[in-house]
């Protein structure tokens, strides 16, 4: 996973750093919960209870897991990602904070393009019919070594 997260010698001045994307999504839980479990699984691309990825033969190309899988030269380009659900019940606001670390900003940019525009265009991530991004930023986090070289 280290190779997926930290910049390497391809950009030696920034080696050891990482690109971090942070997003806040709000969810239409009423709409999502109105779907059958099977439809939810097809939108996500995974089984709801076991979290096992659907076989490619039945997974739609518009599934979230299909569109956020990036392959270059026959090799999957990974990122380190996590999600934290949150809610403000009194405001009927429910969502997810997403954070992802990658070696290159192009990986997460491609994921976002696939999700919002589609691969091919128009074949967008159907999860976005129920979740909308309300914030999003990408940052470069330098290595401690790079920070030590910075002078006033």
- Give me the DSSP letters along 64-88: HHHHT-EEETTEEE--EEEEEEEEE
Integer Cα distance of 79 and 4 in angstroms? 5
Instruction: Check residue 21 and give its pLDDT.
Output: 97
Count other C-beta atoms under 10 Å from residue 150's C-beta: 7
pLDDT value at residue 152 = 61
119 contacts: CB under 8 Å, gap ≥ 6: 61, 67, 113
pLDDT at residue number 120: 95
Residue 120: DSSP 8-state: T
pLDDT, one tens digit for every residue, the chain (152 residues)? 888 999 999 999 899 999 999 999 999 999 999 999 999 999 999 999 999 999 999 999 999 999 999 999 999 999 999 999 999 999 999 999 999 999 999 999 999 999 999 999 999 999 999 999 999 999 999 999 888 888 76
Residue 16 and residue 141 in contact, taking contact as beta carbons nearer than 8 Å:
no
């Amino acid at each position: 996973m280290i190779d997926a997260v930290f910049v390497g010698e391809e950009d030696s001045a920034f080696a050891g750093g990482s690109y971090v994307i942070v997003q806040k999504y709000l969810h239409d839980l009423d709409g999502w919960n109105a779907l059958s479990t099977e439809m939810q699984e097809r939108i996500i691309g995974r089984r709801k209870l076991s979290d096992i990825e659907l076989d490619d033969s039945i997974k739609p190309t518009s599934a979230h897991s299909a569109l956020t899988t990036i392959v270059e030269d026959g090799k999957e380009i990974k990122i380190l990602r996590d999600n934290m659900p949150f809610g403000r019940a009194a405001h009927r606001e429910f969502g997810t904070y997403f954070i992802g670390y990658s070696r290159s900003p192009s990986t997460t940019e491609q994921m976002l393009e696939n999700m919002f525009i589609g691969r091919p265009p128009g074949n967008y991530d159907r999860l976005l019919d129920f979740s909308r991004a309300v914030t999003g930023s990408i940052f470069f986090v330098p290595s401690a070594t790079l920070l030590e070289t910075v002078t006033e």
